[in-house]
Structure 1
């Protein structure tokens, strides 16, 4: 009786290992095709980046659930360009000095946030015409992200 159990156990192992290989192969193909789609779109984004910013240096790519992002140096500026999954540009941003913010915004920030220091300031330009500035302010253990319009209106974007 024991030899039959061993034979049965061996058959089950072989069957499971074959099914396991099939499942593993299927999972690999699905993952590869999904990755290939992302890679194809990334190639389109890379081509578009090269056309738009031919002299870009130190390009770093990041793939997220919603977009592809290229961070790079161009004309002595730190830029980030965002692409959708079709490889089309959806927005671009650049790091700027806080003194490049609209004057009204600078005055508002100085009055409303005394003692805060600027951590990072970015100009954001979306393809749908949305143009904002974002600046993060730090004081002690508090960090505030402000959104600023081109007219100089300041609002808290996130605390």
Structure 2
């Protein structure tokens, strides 16, 4: 039993050390940019790829993701939103043109080009991912359900 407890303790220590190891791979320029932009962020979790750095975190009670390039420049910010947070024109268009569909995912992407919204709507037969374009929706991806 003692051996089992020691093994568990070592295992949990290794797991906790590896979960913080990803932070050390984040470039200092990226960390500085993040800390400057999001001083009150909590629960920060980093993902590092060849092309970008992604920080998922909580800010003012909302979960957000920020993307940075290797130089520390912010590429985009995303957050999940509710349909009531959409601009009125997009809400109306969605309600009028996609009656019989339900919303299964909705998020906002903000970058230097502006703010874009993506919504996934579904019915019994079809799953659509729509992208906002001004006050209208365009089909970004369409999938038939089996």
Aligned twin of 2:101: 116
Tell me: CA distance 1:75–1:144, structure 2 relative to 1, closer, same or farther (3 Å).
same
Could you say what the CA RMSD is over the residues aligned between the two structures, in angstroms? 2.0
Residues 26 and 53 of structure 2 are in contact (CA less than 8 Å); yes or no, is this contact kept in structure 1?
Answer: no
Q: Deviations over 1:122-157 (max 9, x none)?
A: 121112x232111111223632111113x4221111
2:25 aligned residue (39, 44, 65): 39
> For this pair of structures, how many residues does the alignment match?
119
Instruction: Name the one with the larger helix percent.
Output: 1
Distance in structure 2 (CA, Å) of the matches to 1:60 and 1:132: 24
Distance in structure 1 (CA, Å) of the matches to 2:30 and 2:87: 32
Instruction: Name the one with the larger strand percent.
Output: 2
Q: Please report how far the alpha carbon of residue 112 of structure 1 lies from its aligned counterpart in structure 2 after TM superposition.
A: 2.0
Aligned twin of 1:66: 51
Tell me: CA distance 1:40–1:77, structure 2 relative to 1, closer, same or farther (3 Å).
closer
Aligned twin of 1:153: 136
Equivalent position SS for 2:91: helix
Residues 98 and 135 of structure 1 are in contact (CA less than 8 Å); yes or no, is this contact kept in structure 2?
Answer: no
Runs (5+) with no aligned partner, structure 1: 1-37
Q: Deviations over 1:61-89 (max 9, x none)?
A: 11233211111110112211010112211
2:122 counterpart of 1:134: no
Distance in structure 1 (CA, Å) of the matches to 2:121 and 2:137: 13
Tell me: CA distance 1:40–1:65, structure 2 relative to 1, closer, same or farther (3 Å).
closer
What TM-score do you get using the length of structure 2 for normalisation?
0.71
Radius of gyration: which is bigger?
Answer: 1
Q: Deviations over 1:8-53 (max 9, x none)?
A: xxxxxxxxxxxxxxxxxxxxxxxxxxxxxx9352x32122111111
In the TM superposition, structure 1's runs of 4+ consecutive aligned residues that sit over 3 Å from their partners are: none
What TM-score do you get using the length of structure 1 for normalisation?
0.66
